[in-house]
């Protein structure tokens, strides 16, 4: 089992409100947790909505038929944009977390 957590999962981006606009408060919905290995992309689970703090935490199982080797866990929210599950400065696009399957 693997715990996947996400922060700052809101429905609309800050820049949609313009300079000095209000911060995002509406949580993202239908957050898909995906297993990516090579060209394979497998849905592990869907989080219905982020919480009031715009966060989520969910336990997932790595697919039993995963091949030994490297893989990534990626997240797609209701805006259909992939987000990584690791934290990066705001001026960088988040990247998927790289992990390895061993037997």
Amino acid 80: pLDDT? 52
Amino acid 94: pLDDT? 46
Which residues have C-beta within 8 Å of that of residue 89, sequence separation ≥ 6? none
Angle, vertex CA 102, rays to CA 98 and CA 103, nearest 5:
160
Of the two residues 53 and 101, the one the predictor is more confident about is 53
What is the CB-side half-sphere exposure of residue 24 using CA atoms within 13 A?
18
Amino acid 74: pLDDT? 85
Q: Is 2-101 assigned to CATH 2.60.40?
A: yes
Amino acid 92: pLDDT? 37
| Per-residue pLDDT tens digits for 27-81 | 889 999 999 888 889 999 999 999 999 899 999 999 998 888 888 888 887 665 5
Domains of the chain, by residue range, sit at: 2-101
| pTM as predicted | 0.72
């Amino acid at each position: 089992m693997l715990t996947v957590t996400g922060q700052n999962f809101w429905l609309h981006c800050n820049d949609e409100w313009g300079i000095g606009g209000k911060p995002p408060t509406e949580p993202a919905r239908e957050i898909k947790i995906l297993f990516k290995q090579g060209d394979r992309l497998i849905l592990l689970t869907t989080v219905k909505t982020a919480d009031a703090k715009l966060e989520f935490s969910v336990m997932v199982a790595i697919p039993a038929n995963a091949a030994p080797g490297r893989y990534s866990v990626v997240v797609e929210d209701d805006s259909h944009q992939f987000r990584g599950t690791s934290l990066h400065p705001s001026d960088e696009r988040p990247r998927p977390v790289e992990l390895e399957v061993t037997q």
